[in-house]
Amino acid sequence: MIVEAEVDDGGTLSYQWYSNTANNNTGGTEISGATSKSYTPPTGTEGITYYYVVVTNTNADAPGLKTAKTTSNAAEVMVSSSLHQGNGSESFDLATSVSLPYMYPTLTIPAGYTSVTNSSSTIPEAAWYNNNFPNLASVTIGNDVKSIGSRAFYNCTKLISVTIENSVKTIESRAFYGCNKLESLTIGNSVTSIGSVAFNGCTSLISVTIPAGVTNFEPDAFNGCTKLIEIAVDADSNKYISDDGIVYNLEKTTLVRYPQGKPAGSFTIPDYVTSIGSYAFYGCTSLTGDIPAGITNIDSYAFYNCTGLTNVNIPAGVASVSSNAFYGCNGLISVNIPVGVTSIGSFAFSGCNKLTEVTIPGVTSIGSSAFSSCSKLESVTIPSVTSIGSSAFASSSLTSVSIPASVTSFEPSAFNSCTKLAEINVDAANNKYSSDDGIMYNIEKTTLIRHPQGKSADSFIIPAGVTSIGSYAFYGCTSLASIPNSVTSIGSYAFYGCTGLTSLTIPDGVTSISSNGFYNCTGLTSVAIPNKRKMTHFTQLQG
């Protein structure tokens, strides 16, 4: 149990806890030694006991009375036989084994249990489990417990103190996720593994020490810990080391995790570091420095949401920019990608909405959504690319794009929601794709692959030789002419959002209309569909 009290007159607070057999905050028995703001009631005897605390403010400089007192309400604590000692192999299920933490603020896991779980968290869409123990403020996990299960203390939003004693080996993913009042965390020396987002969103946590035995530390374990300024590592660890509160591998060649709440400013990554690990600077919004030339690896989510970054020079030794590496860096104005970089992962620069131009001379693969939502991106140069992923440049401000001869794989959704894009020009030497008047086709021009969304389709006539309208071909093209009789198949999302369509005649030769082919064609008032017996595949028109 914890009491919160404060004064504004410069006085000093002292505490004295009392127990009582009645639900009353007077007439109780003073508890010897219980003189701090927190108190853990004994659990050795079954029954109901009431506890309260008297808080005294002492100010020797105050005029008149030098002390003032206030008394808390009485809190009921029930010690129940349901908290029996385990048999040495049981799992302590917070959801079904105990009602105590739901009602009261303190929980000590009894002896004899080997794991702590919360079965309620396995119930899909059971929103109540997010606050399953709303009053739980202090937890001590005893010496027999070996593992703390996934989501065991998920969103215990009043949990302030956690002590994990020296038997626990595994803290699983999301074990203390969302415990936003957690200030004191003691991790026992026996822990070897700290799972993914185990303490995500513990926004009151300031420092933490990783025990020497930890061999598996997921670097996203403390994501969203916005006040965390120090992650210390026990000096006896043979896998990790910390320097000034920053975690590295033992050799200091990989920067594992920079605490999200530690002011970064123009922090200089040390010269001995060659790899920026996954989530290394995740959410470090104050980071403004550049990446040193000696770096050869930038892992996924490495600089996720580092909104203070304005200019980035990818070092020459880096071969790949991993997925989400610079996601949400919305202060990024320029990025220099050298010829040595051959691939850009999915969402790598997504949401970098101040980027205006990108040149990627050596890149052969651009992953899905790599530059999506770069709303000010007006120019992109991709001379060596062979593969362009789905939504790669979606929601950008591109007006024109050139597809080089090297491209052999092109996802037609790559330029979705590029409302200013007026032309897609394919190099004449390309062996798989072609273009005509800024519209993209296959090399034989039998499939219309993509009509740019910013190009007016009012007077456009689909060429008579086209037999297939590809997926996303006219996505978002608000105006559109008729479909010629040569067409036999219409791909998914082919006419998605073509709000200018008012009437539609499906040609007799069409045998297949894929899913969402005319989805959200809100202006469509009449449709003429040929004998469905001729169709091998037909999905409902939606408008």
Phi first, then psi, for residue 79 (nearest 5°) are -100, 115
Check the CA dihedral 479-481-482-484 and report its sign. negative
Reported as a pLDDT band with limits 50, 70 and 90, residue 68 is confident
State pLDDT tens for residues 47-61.
788 899 999 989 888
Q: What's the whole-number mean pLDDT along residues 311-330?
A: 96
What distance in Å separates the CA atoms of residue 240 and residue 191, rounded to the nearest whole number? 14
For residue 129, give every residue at least 6 positions away whose Cβ sits within 8 Å of its Cβ, in sequence order, or none. 95, 118, 120, 121, 123, 151, 154
The structure tokens 């185990």 sit at 198
Looking at the chain, the whole-number percentage of residues with pLDDT higher than 90 is: 59
Q: How many residues does the chain have?
A: 543
Give the start-to-end residue ranges of the domains of the chain.
Answer: 12-79, 456-543
State pLDDT tens for residues 483-503.
888 999 999 999 898 888 888
The more confidently predicted of residues 191 and 8 is: 191
pLDDT of residue 22 exceeding 60, the answer is: yes
The more confidently predicted of residues 413 and 505 is: 413
Closest Cα partner for 436 from 468, 416, 459, 463? 463
Count Cβ atoms within 10 A of the Cβ of residue 437 and give its class: 0-12 exposed, 13-18 middle, 19 or more buried.
exposed
What pLDDT is attached to residue 133?
A: 57
pLDDT of residue 222 exceeding 70, the answer is: yes
Reported as a pLDDT band with limits 50, 70 and 90, residue 481 is low
State pLDDT tens for residues 172-210.
998 899 999 999 999 999 999 999 999 999 999 999 999
What pLDDT is attached to residue 135?
A: 64
What distance in Å separates the CA atoms of residue 179 and residue 133, rounded to the nearest whole number? 11
Reported as a pLDDT band with limits 50, 70 and 90, residue 112 is low
State pLDDT tens for residues 227-280.
999 999 999 999 999 999 999 999 999 999 999 999 877 788 999 999 999 999
What distance in Å separates the CA atoms of residue 216 and residue 250, rounded to the nearest whole number? 13
Check the CA dihedral 157-161-167-170 and report its sign. positive
What pLDDT is attached to residue 311?
A: 93
pLDDT of residue 534 exceeding 70, the answer is: no
Q: What's the whole-number mean pLDDT along residues 75-103?
A: 52
What distance in Å separates the CA atoms of residue 497 and residue 516, rounded to the nearest whole number? 10
